[in-house]
Structure formats: structure tokens, C-alpha cells
Amino acid sequence: MAQRTIGVLVMSYGTPRSMDEIEPYYTHIRRGSPPAPEQLQELRDRYEAIVGGVFPLREHTDRQVEGLQAALNERTAGSDVRYVCYQGLKHVQPYIEDGVVAMARDGITEAVSIVLAPHYSVMSVGSYNKRAQEEADKQGIRMQSVKSYHLHPTLVEAWTERVSEQLTAFEQDGAAQAEVKVLFSAHSLPTRILEMNDPYPDELHATSAAIATQLGLSDGQWQFTWQSAGQTATPWLGPDISETLAGLAQQGVRHMLSAPIGFVSDHLEVMYDLDIETTQQAQSLNVNYKRTRMLNDDSKFMNVLADAVVGDASKL
């Protein structure tokens, strides 16, 4: 049977492989401008704090790529189409461009690119896709790029399960579910995205609202808030989770659940910003605070990705 092979470029933020690689990684994030020694030390300290300088994002990305490959293989068993996944990282090797070059070397002429982040912003998913398309054009590969998959019913279901499981844990602590405030969050971006009519805030709000609807939460039981804003002179979208938490604590809310729906893996922005910083703040304010599990390589999430890839492949 004649085989049609479609390359799948799976893109993720990327994380250093060792403590020595933090500096080039951070320099790349800063578009080539090396961090000041104190900025570098601060980032090193954060990585040390999460799990003694291990970099969990790499393992999760590797597993997600393998899981997506397995989900796609299952769908194409017995057909004349096959998908082959390649990894491309934003800030560290193998870079997005390396993934596209590897496809070209394997003779691939048509491909789909997808980012391991469900919500579209021109500054996040848009910039991954732009780099992928530019390299694909150079290599003579026809490429379709998935923009977002933030309202896929199975994604909403996987998050609903995670929030629900923690609401039960609060109940076990003696808190009625109605007393728990669910704080959906995502990485902040500079406020200038609002002038570009960027869909990022609306997509994040839509995912949060869909999960809340599935759970039957009233409007007062949840809210969306930002996290992990950069320390730059430009203003970033807020309120930050630290302000939200402090404000709610002042209003007497004693139970808060963090659901970082803008991310898909356990990594620095979850394990440091939420599990260390936000947890410490909650303790100091006498708030009972928990966080949902992340998606990582959950089979439901792998099927969401596979649906998005197959959907875009049909446009090739």
C-alpha cells in the first residue's frame, strides 16, 4: 500500500539540560541579551529550589511527544497515512528549526505543527508557528499550524476531573465545596497584546468558564487570574495571583484552589511560582491552598493533541 507520511512538529518552551545551560537558555529567552549576574543567580536559585536543579519540563515534553505518536499510530493503524512526530523547542536545542530540518532530512514534504500550549497569543503560539513556517518554507515543506485547542471537550473534561478531585480533597479537610474559590491561571503577557486584539485573554476565560460550567460552579466560586509576569519595565496583564490571593483573603476567603489551565506540564512556573511562592503566601495569610494535578502525558490530553493534528492535516 502506498504510504503518505505527514510530519508532526511538536513544539514546547524548552528547559535547560543542566545548571550550566541556564545562562544560554535565559539569554535566548531575552532575545540574545545576557541576564545580569543577579538575574541569573535568581533563576538558578529557582531551579535549585524546585527539585534540586532537575529540569522536569524536558521529561514531560519527551513523554508528550511519545504519547502523541502512540495516539496517532493507533488512529492510522491499517491506513495508508502515517504520522511521524519531531520535537522542536523554543529556547533550547533541539530548536524549532532543528525539528523542521530533521523532517526535511527524512524526506518529509508535508507537515502539521502544534504547540504544547492550548491558548493562542501572537506572542506565544504565534511566534512558535512563525518560526516553524519560516523554516518549513526554506526546506520546501508544506505546513499547517494548529492555532489553539482550548475548548476541545476532552481538554475541558481532563481539567474538570482535576478540579473536581481537589474540591473533594477540600471537603475531606472539612471545607464545603461552595467555600472554595477556584483560581484559574495562565502566564501573563505584556498588556500591549490587548491593543492587537489578541485572543489570548478571551480563550483563557473561555476554558475557565467551560470547566466551571461542567462543575456547576456559580460565578462567585471561580475567577481567572494571571501569574508569572516578567520583571520588565513594560506593564503586564494582571491581576497577578499574589494580588488576587491577598484580596480574597482580606474578604475572608479561607480555601483556594489553583488550576493553572494555561500550562500543560509540571515545570518551573508551576512548581516554583505556584507550589513555592503562592503556597508560602497562602500559609502566611492562613489560607488553605491546593493546586490541581497537571495534564502531563494524560491519555485524554494525548487524544486532544491527536484530534488537533488530524484536523489540521485534513487541510494540507
Report the interface residues with ligand FEC, using CB under 6 A: 13, 15, 26, 29-30, 43, 55, 57, 117, 124, 187, 189, 230, 232, 263, 267-269
DSSP H or E segment with residue 265: none
> Are 88 and 94 in contact, with CB atoms under 8 Å apart?
yes
Place of cell 505584556: 190
Give the residue with the Cβ less far from ligand FEC, 43 or 155: 43
Rounded Cα gap, residues 230 and 235, in angstroms: 9
Tell me 9's DSSP state: E
Shortest Cβ 265–ligand FEC spacing (Å): 7
Give the residue with the Cβ less far from ligand FEC, 129 or 139: 129
Give the residue with the Cβ less far from ligand FEC, 59 or 98: 59
Give the residue with the Cβ less far from ligand FEC, 103 or 117: 117
Rounded Cα gap, residues 167 and 255, in angstroms: 10
Rounded Cα gap, residues 6 and 4, in angstroms: 7
DSSP H or E segment with residue 128: helix 125-139
Shortest Cβ 214–ligand FEC spacing (Å): 23
Give the residue with the Cβ less far from ligand FEC, 101 or 116: 116
Shortest Cβ 147–ligand FEC spacing (Å): 13
Shortest Cβ 255–ligand FEC spacing (Å): 27
Give the residue with the Cβ less far from ligand FEC, 106 or 202: 202
Shortest Cβ 113–ligand FEC spacing (Å): 13
CA dihedral defined by 40, 45, 47, 50, rounded to 10 degrees?
-160
Shortest Cβ 30–ligand FEC spacing (Å): 5
Give the residue with the Cβ less far from ligand FEC, 190 or 311: 190
Which is nearest to 125 in space by CA: 193, 53, 25?
193
b/e per residue, 120-139, with b = 16+ CB within 10 A? bbbebbbebbebbbebbeeb
Place of cell 491506513: 79
Shortest Cβ 9–ligand FEC spacing (Å): 14
Rounded Cα gap, residues 60 and 18, in angstroms: 16
